[in-house]
Structure 1
Amino acid sequence: MNLKSIYITFLLFVFTAGIFAQNREFNGLDMNMGNLYRLSSAETRSISPENFTGEKGKGGMAIPDPNAPRNTANATHAARDLGQGWKVNPYVRINPGETFTMAEIEGPGAIQHIWMTPTGNWRFSIIRVYWDDETEPSVECPIGHFFGMGWNEYAPLNSMPVTVNPGSAFNSYWVMPFRRKCRITMTNINDAEAMNLYYQIDYTLTDVPADAAYFHAQYRRTKVNETSDYTIVDGIKGEGHYVGVYMAWQVNNNGWWGEGEIKFFMDGDKKFPTI
């Protein structure tokens, strides 16, 4: 078939500002189809190996160079005929035992979406998130468990906060506000091999309300005691919301399906739980 011309048709949907400016009370967080018409002063940014800092006008600057330092032009061979601006550095390589800083952001603002595709054993890739000036992470978890893939193999997952697409396309939509600073790292604890990490962290710089809580996640692994309750989490103090737990459960005997009761002991409960 000979085509003399190609026609591209598209629809552009956009909300525009009115003539008269008004005081903007909306901070741009929790955008959804019900409030897309609302304007704010929030600034969208994105961090990836193509723009390590998320700075304005700093994306896609890598130049193909076979002699470039590691993690500055990793896809030089694939992009050799395309040149600057064409996925010259879409991933980073993290050596055994190395910790790589994925993002370091000055606030206030909020993480809105994290996408990544890690290679290697997902149990050996540890993600940590530090809020403000923390020295201990608020999030510390193997990357497979964080995205609901605790058995180190792909399984379909489609939910509001986390989705996993075929292969290892991990997506987190947890909104994670911070006030002064956010730092995210990935550690490769595999002593035998390096890992490649494709990732993108989408965030917004905006005012954070006083009642906004910080996101926390912790990892546990143990052999459950057969004669007593297993404590999933304990020692949490102060105000907050319990938003869920992911379990990778292995049954080591015949005839039991792994069923059990979840109990919530709250605010001084002793023998019997509230829930």
Structure 2
Amino acid sequence: MVEHPFLGGLSALPLIKSGRSRAVNAENPKGEKGKGGMAASHLGPSRKGSPCIRDVAPGATAVLADIDGPGIIEHIWITVTDQTEAGTFVLRDLVLRMYWDEETEPSVESPLGDFFCNGFGRGCTVNSQAIVVNPTRGFNCYFPMPFRRKARIEIENQHEAAIPALFYQIDYCLHDELPEQTAYFHARWKRQRITDKAEDYVILDNVKGRGQYVGTYMALTTLERYWWGEGEIKMYIDGDDEYPTICGTGTEDYFGGAWSFATQRDGKTVENTYCTTYMGYPYYSSHDEDVHNLYHNDDAPPMRGFYRWHILDPIRFHEDLKVTIQQIGVYKKGLFERQDDVASVAYWYQTEPHQPYGPLAQKEERWPR
């Protein structure tokens, strides 16, 4: 009988399991047993001799992990600078990719920041179960990522300058085998710089196979005035055509908030950001933070970042899945169709093989407004 290695939580800590704990980082890039921290520094042997990957050149790809399985990645930690002399959008210029079992098409492809719920090339604190971002840009991911034969994780530098230091650690556990019904982790970034009026923004489509949808990150730049959050999220499951099986009641409702996330304080409307275990609104800004830019005018449109984890309520599908969200606002005359700038990351598990994602948008098309 195959042991179920995914059973976790505090109640499972007393249970002895058969897995073998390993980690890869710049001090032990192959995760070999008994070979961590061997690099020497001026302090001597095994004294912080290789804490990071240095000087990742423009166009280069840094391999963070190349692991033989079976195993499960249990935690990822990464941190980098968010700007260089060449620009301030490093977190959108670095592309994170993950490949399982020697596949040629990535199962995960996203700008580094957006994967960790830090869109717009800007860092912010996130405190949730699946993604945690601590000051300053301490990116953590706790989504389990199983693999049977091999796991490969890499970051491509599409920035115009070298990344001076890339710090990371990937904690995983090796197993003799995984349960037959084990699915693979996937994540995909998308963006529509101006949504089409009266047409839903597509968060995820072309998913074929069996699995479950487990999360959404949305980076919304509003391009019109008035309240923007009446759009309903839709889940088209297993052959749904014109109408979905699941349809929400509004954007702020889907992300767990209410009444426009706002309160009145001293005669002014105040945005209430928040982070909770499964849903949050961690980022709001209407300012251009690139204060060192000669052309800085502080004229950025409002930017908002949201996350929702379907951990206790995964969206299960057996054949196919499509996820969309409407762009609908409201003002004193009622509801109206909007056009905004929407980017998103969809997170899900499914059986392999998965459908190819198509080319990722060029870096200039990923930059925030």
Larger Rg: 1
Separation in 2, partners of 1:56, 1:221? 42
Partner amino acid for 1:186?
I
The residue correspondences of 1:198-209 to structure 2 (distance < 5 A) are: 198-206=167-175, 207-209=177-179
| SS of equivalent to 1:114 | strand
Residue of structure 1 equivalent to 2:39: 62
Indicate which of 50, 72, 80 corresponds to 1:89.
50
1:125 aligns with 2:102: no
Residue 216 of structure 1 corresponds to which residue in structure 2?
Answer: 186
The CA distance in 2 between the partners of 1:38 and 1:100, in whole Å, is 37
1:9-43 CA-to-partner distances (Å, cap 9, x unmatched) read xxxxxxxxxxxxxxx96454443211112112210
Aligned residue type for 1:209: P
C-alpha distance in structure 2 between counterparts of 1:134 and 1:270, whole Å: 30
In structure 2, the partner of 1:194 is 163
Deviation per residue, 1:77-104 (Å, 9 max, x gap): xxx2x22222121111211110011110
Q: Please identify, of 181-190 and 117-126, the stretch whose mean Cα deviation from structure 2 is larger.
A: 117-126
Q: What is the DSSP-based 3-state SS (H/G/I as helix, E as strand, rest coil) of the residue aligned with 1:34?
A: helix
Q: For residues 13-52 of structure 1, what are the structure 2 equivalents within 5 Å?
A: 26-52=3-29
**Number of aligned residue pairs:** 236
Distance in 2, Cα, partners of 1:244 & 1:153: 21
Alpha-carbon separation, structure 2, partners of 1:31 and 1:265: 30
Q: Distance in 1 between matches of 2:8 and 2:245?
A: 34
Shift in Å, 1:263: 0.9
Q: Which residue of 2 aligns with 1:3?
A: none
Aligned AA (2:115) = F
Distance in 2, Cα, partners of 1:144 & 1:244:
16
RMSD of the alignment, in Å? 1.5
Aligned equivalents of 2:7, 2:134: Cα separation in 1: 23
Contact 1:26/1:39 (8 A) holds in 2: no
Match of 1:62, SS state, is coil
Q: Distance in 1 between matches of 2:150 and 2:4?
A: 18
Residue in 2 that maps onto 1:226: 197
Query: For residue 109 of structure 1, what is the aligned residue in structure 2?
Result: 71
For 1:245, the equivalent position in structure 2 comes to 216
Q: What SS does the corresponding residue of 1:86 show, helix, strand or coil?
A: coil
Give the structure-1-normalised TM-score. 0.82
- Aligned mate of 2:148, from 151, 155, 179: 179
Q: TM-score, normalised by structure 2?
A: 0.62
- Going from structure 1 to structure 2, the CA distance change for 1:29 and 1:229 (only over 3 Å counts) comes to closer
2:59 and 2:93 mapped to 1: Cα distance? 10
- Does the 8 A contact of 2:3 with 2:179 survive in 1? no
| Residue 233 (structure 1) shift | 1.0
Deviation at 1:183, TM superposition (A): 0.6
**Structure 1 residue 162 and structure 2 residue 131: aligned?**
yes
Question: After TM superposition, which residue ranges in structure 1, 4 or more long, deviate above 4 angstroms?
Answer: none
Cα contact 2:132–2:141 (8 A) shared by 1? yes
Question: 1:38/1:55 Cα in 2 relative to 1: closer, same or farther (>3 Å)?
Answer: same
Q: Give the C-alpha shift of residue 227 in structure 1.
A: 2.3
Q: Percent identity?
A: 46
Equivalent residue for 1:265, pick from 236, 261, 274: 236
Q: SS at the partner of 1:233?
A: strand
CA contact (8 A) 1:112 1:175 kept: yes
Structure 2 unaligned runs (5+)? Answer: 83-89, 247-369
| Alpha-carbon distance, 1:192 to partner | 2.9
